[in-house]
Structures are given as C-alpha cells and as structure tokens.
Amino acid sequence: MENIFQTFSLDTINEISNTQWLIEDIIPNESLIILYGPSGCGKTFIALDMTLHIAHNIPWKKQSIIKQGIIIYCIGEGINGISNRIKAWHDYNNCSLNAPFIILPIEAISFSEQINIDKMVSTIEKICEHYELPVSMIVIDTLSKASVGYDENSSKDMGLFLYNFDIIKKYFNTTIMFIHHSGKNSYKGMRGSSYLLGTVDTAIQVDNIDNRILIKIEKQKDGIEGSFQLKFKEHLDSLVVFNGDINLKFRKQKGFIVDIELKENDIHQILQMLKDKKSFEDISIKFHIGIDKIKLFFKKYLLKKDENDVKIILKNYSIKNKEDIKWIEENFKHIDEC
C-alpha cells in the first residue's frame, strides 16, 4: 500500500457517495450524532427505541431502516434499570429477545486512556465476528461518563475526545450517537464546549413540555433540519415510546424558529396579542419561537399569578382559537368541578 492520502479528481468525483441514511431523513449513516436534553426528559428511552428498531430491522415511525446491523449500547449510568426498559420495549412491540443488540457497561471506563480505546475496538471486533454483521450504531450514554479525564468545557479536550471516537467510527464504518445533557438553561443548548455542536454531523434536541416530548433536529450537516413530537406510554413498570406516527416537519428556511429565550417583559406583548384575538400560533410566528415554548411561558405566567381556572383564563385573556381552548382545558381546571 502506497504511503499517500486518498484523493478524488473531477473525473472520479462520482465515486464519492451521497449521504446514506441509517434511519431515513433522521439518522445519517457513518456519522457522529449528539442527542441531548435536560435530565429526566426521556433521552435514553428515545435512544433505546431507535436502536432496538434498527437491531430488529423494523421501520421507525414509518422511516425506513436503511442499514440493519449490530447495536453496541454503552451505558454509563442507570445500568440496573436498562434491563427492565429493554424487556418492556420487546413486550410492547411484540418482539422476541433475539436481535444483535449488545449492552456494554462503561461506568468505570475512561476513554481518555488509549488502552481503553484499543480495548473497545477489540471488543467490537469480537462481537462482529460472532454475529457476522456490520455495526449499525454505537451509543455512548452518556458523553459525560465516557469523557472522564477530559474537561467538557475545553474545545481542546473535546476535540481529542471526539477524535478518538471518530477513528472508531471510520474503522467500523458506523454511526456513533452520544447522549448528552443540556446546560442549566435548556433553551441555550447543550452543556459544555461549543466545539461539540460544531463538530458533530447531527444534533438532536429533546425536551419534555407538559408530558409532550419535543424532538428538534437542530443540525443536519447533509440534510434538512426538522422537528416532531413523541409520546411515552407506561408499560410493565417502565416507559416505552408510543407506537404512533410522527408528523415530521422539515424547515426549508433555517432560522424560522430560533432558540432564543423569552424575556420577562415579553409577556406584555403576548397578552396584547391575545387581547387582539391572536392565537398562540400567531404569537409563535411573531416571535419566531416554537409554539410550545410560547405556551410554556404563558403557563408559567399564569401559575405565578395563581390563575388556574379554565373559565376565568378564557374570559380574561380573550382566547377564542379552538386549539388554544383545548390546550387551556388540558392544562388547567374547571374550579366548579373540583
């Protein structure tokens, strides 16, 4: 083998393949991905649901599984509960416990040490030999557990950390998904160095507002960003992702809905718009902020004022839109019924 780098000329540019998908339009193949959100929002349940669908070669929310193969799920926290979650998923989805899905505990492993990187590669090679299948995805749950020894806020340290996993990604021609936490204010993005967002191919934000799971593909290097919602369902003393379809909405114009934090005095303009018989959707468009964030802001305002009666809220704030009335009725109460 010649000691030179691979190159492509204009004559051979067609040899460079287009983006291939692991889960169509959502999870690209052979990529680095971060799925992040606040603690307790359901990140692990979502990652398990996606990866178990891949392992069983079942379409995820009608999105085709393009590459079936082995899932290596590296779990660094909550190891004792993951067994119940996986068994609940299989029972709910009527699947047998027979798929190339491997759990790899990493609670006491530091990937700042080269010996552990080498051991990870050797372990995955053994798994591939056993199943005689490629690796579809490696999940690192969580990034903070796997990056012990690195400074999460240092771009240099995070560069070294991601470099090691990028080598693993290329060696196995696979996708690596990191489960990560958002910062103290979830609206401001993921925790740690901005190098993370700048380096990964795909970033998926998860938030839980009023038990509605909001998923936003905020970065898709070679695709279109979009958003959708999921629901959780209790099953066998665990939670599973409800088997309903998703309404995947792609944003063709970046920045139509932006991540900015509403200021306290913004409530005055929101109240005036409601008085002018504007809907929450109208307000969302005006502020260029997602409708669920507007609703949560309004709800917090009402709770601070100790206003929780449906009839009074509808009357005082001139809410006429049917969808908005339904949301008020679902989130507040009729005092005379209590």
pLDDT in tens, 298-333: 988 888 888 888 999 999 999 999 989 999 988 887
Q: Could you tell me whether strands 226-230 and 249-250 are parallel, antiparallel, or unpaired per DSSP bridges? A: antiparallel
What pLDDT is stored for residue 337 in this prediction?
47
Q: What is the pLDDT of residue 186?
A: 62
Bridge pairing between strands 232-235 and 238-241: antiparallel
Predicted pLDDT of residue 250: 61
- Which of 196, 217, 250 is where one domain is finished? 250
- Would you state the structure tokens that stand for residue 115, as one six-digit string? 């010996």
Is 17 in the same domain as 95?
A: yes
Long-range CB pairs of 108-117 (<8 Å, 24+ gap) are 109/146, 110/148, 110/149, 111/146, 111/147, 111/148, 111/149, 111/161, 111/164, 111/165, 112/147, 112/148, 112/149, 112/150, 112/160, 112/161, 113/149, 117/164, 117/167, 117/168
Q: Is 258 inside any structural domain?
A: no
What is the pLDDT, as a whole number, of residue 51?
Answer: 97
pLDDT in tens, 242-271: 987 776 666 544 433 444 568 888 899 899
Q: Which of 250, 277, 301 is the last residue of a domain?
A: 250
Instruction: Give the residue numbers spanning the domain of 32.
Output: 10-250
Q: Dump pLDDT digits (tens) for 5-61.
A: 888 888 887 877 777 889 988 899 999 999 999 988 999 999 999 999 999 999 998
Q: What is the CA radius of gyration of the chain?
A: 23
The rounded distance, in Å, linking the Cα atoms of 174 and 166 is 10
Number of domains forming the structure of the chain: 2
What pLDDT digit, counting tens, does each position of 66-100 carry?
888 999 999 987 778 899 999 999 999 999 999 99
Check residue 251 and give its pLDDT: 55
Tell me if 5 is assigned to some domain. Answer: no
pLDDT, residue 108, reads: 80
CA geometry: angle 261, 263, 266, nearest 5 deg: 120
- Same domain? 280 vs 197: no
* Domain final residue pick, 192, 225, 250: 250
Report the relative pairing of strands 212-220 and 226-230 from DSSP bridges.
antiparallel
| Whether 288 contacts 258, CB under 8 Å | yes
Domain-located, residue 4: no
Q: For the domain that residue 26 is a member of, what is the CATH number?
A: 3.40.50.300
In sequence order, the 6+-apart residues with CB closer than 8 A to the CB of 18 are none
End-to-end CA distance of the chain: 79
pLDDT in tens, 199-223: 999 999 998 876 778 888 989 887 7
- 51 phi/psi in degrees, rounded to 5: -70, -35
20 vs 337, higher pLDDT: 20
Distances (CA, A) of 270 to 21, 248, 261, 302, 316: 41, 27, 14, 13, 13
Instruction: Calculate the average pLDDT of the chain.
Output: 87
Do 203 and 298 fall into the same domain? no
Q: Is 244 in the same domain as 277?
A: no
Residues 178 and 281 in one domain: no
Residue 228 and residue 196 in one domain: yes
Of 138-147, 208-217, 227-236, the one with minimum mean pLDDT is 208-217
CA 205 to chain centre: 5
Report if residue 1 sits inside a domain. no
- The DSSP-derived string for 238-271 is EEEE-------EE-SSTTSS---PPPTTHHHHHH
Has residue 24 been placed in a domain? yes
Please say if the pLDDT value at position 334 is more than 80.
no
Q: Is residue 221 part of a domain?
A: yes
Residues 281, 244 share a domain: no
What pLDDT is attached to residue 253?
41
Lowest mean pLDDT, pick from 172-176, 183-187, 198-202, 324-328: 183-187
Q: Where are the alpha helices (DSSP H) in the chain?
A: 43-55, 79-92, 114-131, 143-146, 155-172, 195-199, 266-275, 280-287, 291-304, 310-316, 322-331
Give burial (CB, 10 Å; 0-12/13-18/19+) of 195.
middle
Distances (CA, A) of 162 to 195, 277, 296: 10, 50, 35
Question: In this predicted structure, what is the pLDDT of residue 19?
Answer: 74
Torsion of CA 292, 46, 35, 153, to 10 degrees: 100
Distance CA 196, CA 104 (A): 23
Whether 26 contacts 220, CB under 8 Å = no
Domain co-membership, 28 together with 147: yes
pLDDT score of 170: 95
pLDDT reported for residue 255: 36
Question: Model confidence at 185, in pLDDT bands (50, 70, 90)?
Answer: low
Question: What H or E segment, with its residue span, contains residue 149?
Answer: none
Does some domain include residue 89? yes
Please indicate, yes or no, if residue 93 is contained in any of the structural domains.
yes
Same domain for 245 and 272: no
Same domain, 45 and 80: yes
Tens digit of each residue's pLDDT (9 = 90 or more) over 273-282:
998 889 998 8
Q: Quote the tokens at residue 209.
A: 């507002």
Q: 28 phi and psi, to 5 degrees?
A: -75, 150
Q: Quick one: what percent of the chain has pLDDT higher than 70?
A: 91
245 in the same domain as 276: no
Residues 39 and 124 in one domain: yes
